[in-house]
Amino acid sequence: MSESSVLRVGLLGFGTVGSSFAEVLAASGREDILITRIFNRGVERKRSHERAKFLQPEVQWIEQAEGVIEAADVDVVVELIGGLDPVGGWLRAALKVGKHVVTANKQLIAYRGPELFDVAAKANVQLLYGAAVAGGVPVIPGVAQGLGGDEITRVSGIVNGTCNFILSSMEAGADYGEVLANAQRAGYAEANPSADVDGVDARAKLCILTRLALRAEINPDEVPAQTISAVAAVDFAYAKELGCTIRQVSRSQKHGDKVQARVGPMLVPTTSPIAWSHGTQNMVVTKGRFGGDVVFSGHGAGGHPTAVAVMSDVLAIAQGSAAVRLPTKHAEVSGEVSAPYYLRFIVADEPGIVAAIAGVLAKHHINIDSILQHRGHESERLPFVVTTEPCSSAVLEEAIAEMGAMPFMLEPPLALQILVVDDKDTD
């Protein structure tokens, strides 16, 4: 903190979140927090942008990140650019020279968090990242501080607002391609949406939550992630018949000395709180040994919700609050789960298909729970569904590969885990 008791903020990035942070700060009326410098490429364009009206006229616009990191009139660096490099090097340098850091960068915290936390501790400064998971929903401080006294055995939920917007819109009858285009126009999805729809974004957030909740360091690259792009309207119709909907679920839990972790679309019973989340909402559910289930819910996408989390971190630094750092240890990831599954097939109809599929499942010792087939589909492209009793995910993958090679299959079979609401930590 400067001698004048004003916390001077240097912004790295003045995009959607950066400009929203400036707006939130201006609306707060606080005179003890001041944006002094902003790094952004193309500063003339940003300086003349309509949202620059929320800034003090004396703010300095910088085209080199070092102009913020090394500046004497910056006490805290707020990073809102994203990515691993060169941002990781910038923040490491800022911490080393004694500047606090606030970031919304989930990839950086997921992959390099422990290293940066150590640098911050040695420099006696704060590294806060409340905006890295679930936007404006206070999951990070809630788990670290509010639940720090419990032994959390599982964390699960919806941590990608884009996927939740797409899937909940499809639940209401919209087409995947149409909804994705709408999400891109609304700014919820990038021009290249793969990080969202393929689970890369949610996987990084799950690793951060696993570190905090289960106190386990896991490698994001080891966490299985399944795309939502293969989910179709017909799947929601069958899910409804099974008393479920479909959501992208991120889930990790302790399993001996390993962590079972997975991200992907799952059938979620409508009795589960996770099924109630719509639009860009995020929801995280923790299961504690002593405190039971705790639910965090709210808007997880967009500039304003994320800026609220950033502002909260800056306020914590301004008020001298000490971050909670819980002990963690490295854990291997196990993608192996025993769970019931939903299998959807698209076939060219001919006699013996059900018997052939049942034969493969029996060969792999997988029991069928139900077979569903709706009327009204053309026999040249016929969808039908098989649900299984709990089985090994590894064994199921072998069966799916064998069934996918059958000549009547028109598409690769879709396998979705069915979330069990009351599983007593046995899955």
Catalytic residue numbers, as ranges: 205
Instruction: Report the run of H or E that residue 240 belongs to, with start and end.
Output: helix 233-241
**Secondary structure of 34-57 in HEC code, one letter for each residue:** EEEEEECCCHHHHHCCHHHHHCCC
CA-based radius of gyration for the chain: 24
Those residues whose C-beta lies under 8 Å from the C-beta of residue 166, and which sit 6 or more positions away, are 176, 179, 180, 183, 189, 197, 228
Angstrom distances, CA of residue 72 to CA of 13, 37, 310, 341: 19, 11, 22, 58
Per the DSSP assignment, residues forming a β-bridge with 61 are 38
Residue type, 336: E
For 284, phi then psi, to 5°, come to -125, 130
> C-alpha angle with apex 100: 95 to 103, nearest 5 degrees?
95
| The token pair that represents 279 in the structure block | 């639009």
> C-alpha angle with apex 164: 166 to 140, nearest 5 degrees?
150
Cα separation, 417 vs 264, in Å, equals 9
Q: Give the residue among 291, 266, 295, 267 at the shortest CA–CA distance from 282.
A: 295
- DSSP code, position 301: S
Cα separation, 169 vs 195, in Å, equals 19
Q: From the CB of residue 197, how many other CB atoms can be counted at a distance below 10 Å?
A: 26
| The token pair that represents 53 in the structure block | 């009206």
Q: Please, what sign has the CA dihedral across residues 331, 335, 341, 342?
A: positive
